[in-house]
Structure 1
Amino acid sequence: MTDSTPYLYQGARLRLREFGWRDVHALVQMHRDPRVRAHLADDVPLDDARVAHQFVENMQQFYRQHEGTGIWCAERAHPPEAEVLADALRAHACGEIDAVFLDALVQPRWSFCGWFSLVHLSDDLHTLEIGARLTPQAWGGTLAIDGGEWLLEHAFRTLGQSHVLGHCSPTNRSAAHCLQVLGFQPQGLAPYNGGQALRFGLCQSGWAAWHAQPRRERQRAVLSAGR
C-alpha cells in the first residue's frame, strides 16, 4: 500500500482507508494505552509490534479476498489554529499569497485515531457486524457516529445486507449508547471471541426508518428512553 491509497470514506471530521505498513506503530501505541485495553472484547496482543505487523499483512490479503468488508484505518481532522487561519486570510486579502497557497494553509491536518470494521461473524459467515476502536483522544465527540453511519450505509445499500449486528464489552457504556443512536436494539449478552459481550441488532427496514430522522432527534430519543 502506498500513500496514494484512495479513501473509502471522507467527511469533514473523519476518513477511512485500508491499513498499510506505516500504521503499525500507531496500532501498537493505541493498544498499549490502558484506557483502550480496559474496553476490549478480545485479547489479541496488538501492543506487540510483531502481532501488529502480522495484522496489517492479514488485512491487506483480507481486503482482496473479501471485497467490501474489512477493518479500516481511521484518521481524524485537526482544523488549522485560529491564529494561523487569520494570518492566511489576511495575507491573501493583501495579495501576499495566492488562492492555491491559501487553500493549502487552511486544509486540516489528519492523524490516526483508530479503526472501523465491517466483518462477518466468525461463527456465522452470513452475518456482518460493525465495530470501532478509537484512541482516547478521539473519544467524546461524534467520530464513532460518523463512522458508524457510513458502515451501515455501506452494509445495507452497497452490500445489500438484511441485518447487521454490533457487539461491545458489557462495561463500555459509551459504545452501547453509540450503537443505540445508530438504531441498534439490545439483544442481551452473547458469546463473543471466547468471552461475553453485549449484542445489538439492526435490520434494513429499521435502519431506513431510524436514519430518516435527524441525528439530533435520534440522540434525544435514546436519552429520553433511557435505552
Structure 2
Amino acid sequence: MATGWPQVGGLWVVEWRDRPGFLGWCALFPFDNNDQLEMGYRLLPQAWGQGIATEAGQAILNYGFSRLELDTVIAVTHPNNGRSQNVLKKLGFCATGAVTYHGQSVVSFLLTRTNFETLTIA
C-alpha cells in the first residue's frame, strides 16, 4: 500500500474513543483521477447511528482544509444511502447531482473551504 498510495490525502482507522476496537476507516483520496480529493468512510454496523461517521468526517475535513489547504472536498453515496447523505449534510456538504462513478450511478456532494469554515466557526 505504501508504494501505491497517492501523495496527498490519507487513510485512517476509526476506533472507539474509550476502548480498543476497530470500527472502520475514513480517508481522503484522489477523486476519479483528477486534482480533487474525495472523502470516504466505511464503518461496521455496530458503529452506525452513533455519530461516529460525523466525528470521523469532521476530523479528516479539519486535516484536509487546515493541513492540506484544500479548496474543496468531494464525496459520493449510493442514491439510497440516506444515512450517509445525512452525515455529509451535517458536515456541510451540498448535493451536486447524480453522476456515474466506477460504473455506478451515485449522488455527488461538494464541500468548499468557505462553507466548512462557516460551519466550524458557528
Q: TM-score, normalised by structure 1?
A: 0.51
Question: Could you give the per-residue CA deviations for residues 56-115 of structure 1, whole angstroms, max 9, x where no partner exists?
Answer: xx2x3345x52x5232222123xxxxxxxxxxxxxxxxxxxxxxxxxxxxxx32101111
| Distance in structure 1 (CA, Å) of the matches to 2:13 and 2:28 | 12
Say whether residues 1:123 and 2:63 are aligned partners. no
> Deviation at 1:206?
1.1
Query: Which protein is richer in helix relative to its size?
Result: 1
Using structure 2 for the length normalisation, give the TM-score. 0.92
Cα separation, partners in 2 of 1:158 and 1:62, compared to 1, 3 Å: farther
Report which of the two structures shows the higher radius of gyration computed on alpha carbons. 1
User: 2:77 & 2:13 partners in 1: Cα distance?
Assistant: 19
Greater relative CO, 1 or 2 (CA 8 Å, sep 6+): 2
Of the three residues 168, 172, 185, the one matched with 2:77 is 168
Equivalences for 1:50-65 in 2 at 5 Å?
58=1, 60-62=2-4
Structure 2 residue identity aligned to 1:180: K
Greater fraction of residues in strand: 2
Unaligned runs of 5+ in 1: 1-57, 78-107, 214-227
Amino acid at match of 1:191: T
Report whether the alignment pairs 1:109 with 2:19: yes
Cα offset, 1:158, TM superposition: 0.4
The answer for the alignment partner of 1:178 in structure 2 is: 87
List alignment gaps of at least 5 residues for structure 2.
Answer: none
SS at match of 1:109: coil
| 2:115 alignment partner AA | G
Q: Tell me the matched-pair count.
A: 122
Q: Specify the code of the residue in structure 1 equivalent to 2:23.
A: C
Report the equivalent of 1:210: 119
